[in-house]
Copies of this chain bind each other. A is one copy, B any other.
């Protein structure tokens, strides 16, 4: 178990939420998770996903609560519940309608990734051959997200769209789940140019344990923690958190939906490959959320102070989400006490 005081936040998980999963999170000392509730879903489909979350939250309200504001993360910690931030890995739920930003924000969709793996109305993804940057609509969407206090997530987003979005945003943005591409080369990981821009924007990067974004299941805890230390060296200790992208107990049907949506009839492997077509196997030191303490121990072993470990394990996301979930108006009134 993590020590009492530490707040642990995972800035992305795509796992199958049931009571057993909640117990694993509790066992791992996890305070709060950003849970993905949309990949390719349109507005109507996203309503159904949110409806399912309402049911899950109601039926498990002894163990879990929805997070709308930073204060809710602290309340989750106090009451020993898992705080869930609902987010979407796409802006597909907005369709072409700017007003739906505030509507989904009101439903507690507090994070939206501008694109999933394809170009959309807002911009382009890291897998597109060409990325013409943030679209006219995309600029409006970023500004509206800034206004209402919905986090702009750039994890799967293409290079140019990412840089444009950082430039267009009047508030810090997030890359909830990606790694430096000079450590682990992948289209899904991020260049020095992007991470430098993120740093200057006061954003936060969630380093990712998804096997295809590191060195597969063979990646050792020492290597993973070494990447974190190098990323902190580049970004600064206040700019790095975790976004494991854990995908526990997900079905193959869901994997196909994740990879192909409705946009293709051929298998698209994303960060996977033909030789490795199924859900990836995870390293032995991160099989379930109960393994979070391995990471904090690994960081301490690398020479991080307790304070530094706490920032990476959750403190940075707590500060970032507390500020970012406020509407622009509220944010002008008060800031998270540093």
Chain A interface (Cβ < 8 Å from any Cβ of B)? 43-44, 47-48, 50-52, 54-55, 58, 97, 99-100, 102-103, 106-108
Partner of A48, one of B55, B99, B106: B99
Query: When chains A and B are docked, how far (Å) is the Cα of A51 from the Cα of B43?
Result: 12
**Contact indicator B100/A47 (Cβ below 8 Å):** yes
Tell me if A's interface is mostly helix, strand, loop or mixed: helix
**Contact indicator A102/B43 (Cβ below 8 Å):** no
Across-interface contacts of A103 in B (CB, < 8 A): 47, 50-51, 54, 107
Query: When chains A and B are docked, how far (Å) is the Cα of A106 from the Cα of B55?
Result: 13
Query: When chains A and B are docked, how far (Å) is the Cα of A100 from the Cα of B44?
Result: 11
The residue on B at minimum CB distance from A147 is B58
**Contact indicator A54/B99 (Cβ below 8 Å):** yes
**Contact indicator B106/A108 (Cβ below 8 Å):** yes
Across-interface contacts of A48 in B (CB, < 8 A): 97, 99-100
Query: When chains A and B are docked, how far (Å) is the Cα of A143 from the Cα of B102?
Result: 28
Across-interface contacts of A99 in B (CB, < 8 A): 48, 51-52, 54-55
Query: When chains A and B are docked, how far (Å) is the Cα of A99 from the Cα of B54?
Result: 7
**A-B contacts besides A48-B100, A51-B102, 10 pairs, CB < 8 Å:** A43-B44, A44-B44, A47-B47, A47-B100, A48-B97, A50-B103, A51-B99, A54-B102, A106-B107, A107-B107
The residue on B at minimum CB distance from A56 is B99
Query: When chains A and B are docked, how far (Å) is the Cα of A108 from the Cα of B103?
Result: 10
Across-interface contacts of A58 in B (CB, < 8 A): 102
**Contact indicator A51/B97 (Cβ below 8 Å):** yes
Which residue among A44, A103, A108 has the maximum number of chain B CB atoms within 10 Å of its CB? A103
Partner of A100, one of B43, B51, B97, B106: B51
A44 to chain B, nearest CB (A): 5
The residue on B at minimum CB distance from A108 is B106
- Could you list 13 examples of A-B contacts with CB < 8 Å? A43-B44, A44-B47, A47-B100, A51-B100, A51-B103, A52-B99, A54-B103, A54-B106, A58-B102, A103-B107, A106-B106, A106-B108, A107-B107
